[in-house]
Each structure stands twice: as structure tokens, then as C-alpha cells.
Chains A and B, each alone.
Chain A
Amino acid sequence: MISAGIDVGTRFVKACIVKDGEVMGWAGQDVSRDIDRVIAGVYKKALEQAGIKKRQVKKLVSTGYGAKLVKKTSFTMSSDRCAAKGAFALDPTIRTVLDCGGLFLTVTAIDEKGVFERALSNDKCAAGSGKFLEMSAQAIEIPFSSISQYAELSREPYVISSNCAVFAESEVITQVNHGRNNTDIIAGVLHSIAGRAATLFERIQAQDNVALGGGLAAVPAFADRFEQMTERKTVSLPMPPQNFGAFGAALMAQQGDPFKEGSRRK
């Protein structure tokens, strides 16, 4: 059976096409004002990559912050469940998934069968999110893809005093104007964000093994700092971490809506 998952995140839209549990194609794109077109475009690209026609897709499941914006879905599913599903399918030793996305940090615990146990998220404040890193990097003119290289060069990471992502942006600009190296600033921002993620992670009393998902996980310097702080090793999975959600949604589609078919909601 062929199914599709679309993950409408706060910063990116991702789509994944799955046939009998195997990934056939995926695509991702920045969100923009015309969200309908972005969703349609990403879906089309993923279908093209998979060499599949839209009518061959038996079921479509959407997830993420904007899940409801996707039309003609079989059902929608929360992103913590989808990311956990995706990660577990790639490696059944995973018990905890920390999804570090554009605006939300979510940590999900799953049991040895991959069943969702509990989740925690930063739902009040964007401190520690990918957006925090993105805004800071932009303010000090470091391309997002080079953040890790810059951070590695830092000798004396700057300690960010603002907890608010909006204020951190002006704080880093002030620091640059006072002649501080942008390498030290970006290292400090990464440290602050990893600290937030680590706190959330400790709160859920996470079990090994741990997988990192989301756009932030693709920044190696972030993953390194997170591992140092929590003194845990994270497992790297054979898929870009941004795609766990869309992949998980497509897998959910294969099985049908667990809430509708009488399965227990935890």
C-alpha cells in the first residue's frame, strides 16, 4: 500500500511517500504566506521523486502545527506521535525522541513496542527554539548552514543573558557592535538552546536510546552540546532528522487512525 505524510511545521513543510513501510520519496520547502501553494508544491515534488501518481496514494495523513491546512486527508495526527513513530520505525531501540523544530521543542517517550507514553513541549515561550537560533544567526550574518563551522572556531563562548528570543536578537547585535566575535556569539546561542532542550529532556526522565529530530538536529554543533550537557549519546538514524514527522505520518496512514479504530488513547 502506498501512503503519504505531510508535516506542516512552523518553518518548513515536509512530505514523505511510503510504500509498505519503505520511503519512496520526500521533499521539503520553507513556509511562506501562500501556504496552500507550498503544501501542494511539496506534495507534488515528493510524488515526482517517488515516481508515483497522486491517485495511487491510498491514504494521506497530515501532522505538525498546520496539519489542518492540508486538504483531503484521511486524518491528522499530533507531531510528537508522528516523530516518535518515524524514529521508532527506523530504529526500534529508540525510547525517546527529542524533536527540535522551528518553534517547538518536544520530547516524546515511547515504550519498547513504539507505543506513545508521554510528551512535553515548550508551549509558552520560544526561547530555545530553532527560531531563536535562526534569528540570532541572521542578526550576526552567519548563514544557517554554516552555524556549526562558526561555533567550532569559538574560544570564549558569550553567555546570552536574554531568555526571550526577540530580545536575544537585539542583544547579539549590540555585542557585535561592541566588537565581540560572531563565532563566540553563535557558540553562546547554541549553548543556551541546548540548555533549554536538556532541561526539557531531563524533565521527562528519558530512557536510552535517544534520537534527535527536527531542523536543529541537523546542526552538528547543537547535537554535540546537547550530548555534552545531558551526558547521553544520541543515535543517528538513516534519514534527515527533519523528516521524521512526515515519515511517521505516512506510516500512521498505513495503519489507519488509532483513535478511530478503538485503540486506547494514552
Chain B
Amino acid sequence: MIVAGCDVGSLTAEAVILKDSQVLTSKIMGVRATAEKSAVCVMDLALAQAGLKYSDIDACYSTGYGRQAIPFSQKNISEISCHGMGAYWADNSIRTIVDIGGQDCKVISIDENGLVQEFIMNDKCAAGTGRCLEVLAKALDVELHELGPLSQKARKPINLTNKCSIFMELEVMQHVYKKRKARDIAAGINNAVAKRVASLSKSVPLKPNFAITGGVSKNVGVVSRMEKLLDVKFTPLTVDPQIIGALGAAIFAQKENGNHD
């Protein structure tokens, strides 16, 4: 049985194709003008890589910010359920998932079947999201993917006191004016984002084991700071943490369309 999941987020879109409960292929790309275009584009890429056609897919579910606009999906499921299920499938010892995406961050608590028990989410304010990191990386004039490695070399991280991303940007500029080292500023940026997410997670029971997903989980600075602040260790996942949402959607498609294995 071949199933697919498609996750159209605010900044990136992901597609995952599963064949007999194995990940056949996965693709990530930046979003296009509309959610529909992004979905078609990323799915075309994934299908091409797998050497499949749309007609080969038995079921496809969608998730994410643009999940309602996807023409080839039979059902859409909230990204919270999908992140829970995706992380659980990748490692069934996981009970708490921290997901830091482009425009939101959430902490999800799941049960021993991978179903959501409780969650908390911030999607009102950009602080503590990937978008905030993007704005601050730009202010510092470094690439987004460099923030993590750069921050690891910091000796005296700066302290960002503001909560608003735009005020943080101003604060970063002030440190740039004062000629502070880029690595120390980068560490300050990562710490600030981690702090925002950590303060969110106080409202959800934190049960081991822990996983971190979403694009920001690729930033080693944020991840290590989160571990320190929450006093936990994140279990490394066997699949790319950025495709967890799409993976979860595919798992739901498989579960609800026969072939329980």
C-alpha cells in the first residue's frame, strides 16, 4: 500500500510517501505563492523521485497552515495531531513533542498510542518561531542555517530582553553598533527564541521521552538551550525532524485506509 502526506506550512512545504510502512521518499521546499501551488509542486517532486504517479497513491492526507487548499488530499488533519503521530511513529517512546515551525511553536503531549492528550501553541506572536530567527539572522547579516553553528562558538552570549521580534531586531542592531561579536549575538538570538518556547511549555505536563521537530530543530543552538532550560534531553529521531508533520499525515492516511501494520 502506498500512502502520502503533505504538510504546507507558512514557510516550507513537505511531502512524504510511504510504501508498506517504509518511507519511500520525502521532499522539502520553500512555499510558493499559494498553498495549492506549494502542495502540487512539492508532491510532484516527491512523486518524480519515487518514480510514481498520482494514481499510484492509495490515500493522501494533508496538514499544516494551508491544509484546506490541497486538491489531491482526501482529508486534512490538524498539524498538532500529525506532529504527535509522526514523532510517535519515528520513535514510539516519545511522549512530548516540541515543534518550532515557521510561524508558530507548540508543545504537544501524546499518549502511548501517539494520540494528542494536551497541547499549547503560540501562533499570535512571531517571537519564539522560525520567522523570528529569520528576521534576527537578517539583522545580524548571517544565513539562517549559520546561526546554530555560529552560536556554539560564543563565549559571552548577549542577553536579549525584549519579547517582540521587531524590538529584538532593534536590540540586535544595537549590539551590532557596539561591535559585539557575531557569535555572541547569534547565541543571544538562539537563547531568546529557546526562552520563549520554554516559557510556553510550562503549561503542559512534560513526560519523557522528548522530541523536537520543525525547521528550528535543525538549529543546534536553540535545541541545546531548550534542553538546558527544560532540563530534558531530546531523543534524536531517525527521520528528518522537518518532515514529521507530513509523515504524521501519511500515517493517518495509512491507518484509516486499511492495512494496519
A residues neighboring B (CB under 8 Å): 10, 31, 33, 35-36, 65-66, 69, 103, 124-126, 129, 131, 163-167, 170, 174, 177-178
Q: Which residues of B contact A (CB under 8 A)?
A: 10, 33-34, 103, 124-126, 131-132, 135, 141, 163-167, 170, 173-174, 176-177
Cα–Cα, bound, A200→B203 (Å):
31
Asked if B131 and A167 make an inter-chain contact with CB atoms under 8 angstroms apart, the answer reads yes
- Neighbour of B125 across the interface among A35, A125, A129, A174, CB < 8 A: A125
Select the residue from B125, B141, B165, B176 with max chain A CB neighbours within 10 A: B125
Which residues of A have CB within 8 Å of B124? 163-164, 167
Please tell me if the beta carbons of A166 and B177 are within 8 angstroms of each other in the complex. no
Q: Which residues of B contact A10 (CB under 8 A)?
A: 170
Residue of A nearest to B167 (CB): A126
Q: Is the CB of B170 within 8 A of A103?
A: yes
Q: Given contacts A163-B124, A164-B124, A177-B33, is CB(A124)–CB(B164) below 8 Å? A: yes
Q: Are A164 and B126 in contact (CB under 8 A)?
A: yes
Name the distance in Å between B103's Cβ and chain A's nearest Cβ.
Answer: 6
- Chain A residues near B164 (CB-CB < 8 A): 124-126
In the complex, how many angstroms separate the beta carbon of A12 from the nearest chain B beta carbon?
Answer: 13
| Residue pair A166, B165 in contact (C-beta under 8 Å) | yes
A31 to B139, CA, bound (A): 13
B233 to chain A, nearest CB (A): 31
Contacts of A131 in B (CB 8 A): 166
Is there an interface contact between A170 and B103, defined as CB atoms closer than 8 Å?
A: yes
11 additional contacts (CB under 8 A) given A124-B167, A170-B103? A33-B176, A69-B177, A124-B163, A125-B125, A125-B164, A163-B124, A164-B125, A164-B126, A165-B165, A167-B124, A170-B131
Q: Can you list 21 A-B pairs, Cβ within 8 angstroms, ordered by A?
A: A10-B170, A33-B173, A35-B177, A36-B177, A103-B170, A124-B164, A125-B167, A126-B165, A126-B167, A163-B125, A164-B125, A164-B126, A164-B165, A165-B165, A166-B126, A166-B166, A167-B125, A167-B126, A170-B10, A170-B131, A177-B34
Contact status B167-A166, CB under 8 Å:
no
Q: Is the CB of B177 within 8 A of A103?
A: no
B122 to chain A, nearest CB (A): 10
- Residues of chain B within 8 A of A31, CB atoms compared: 173
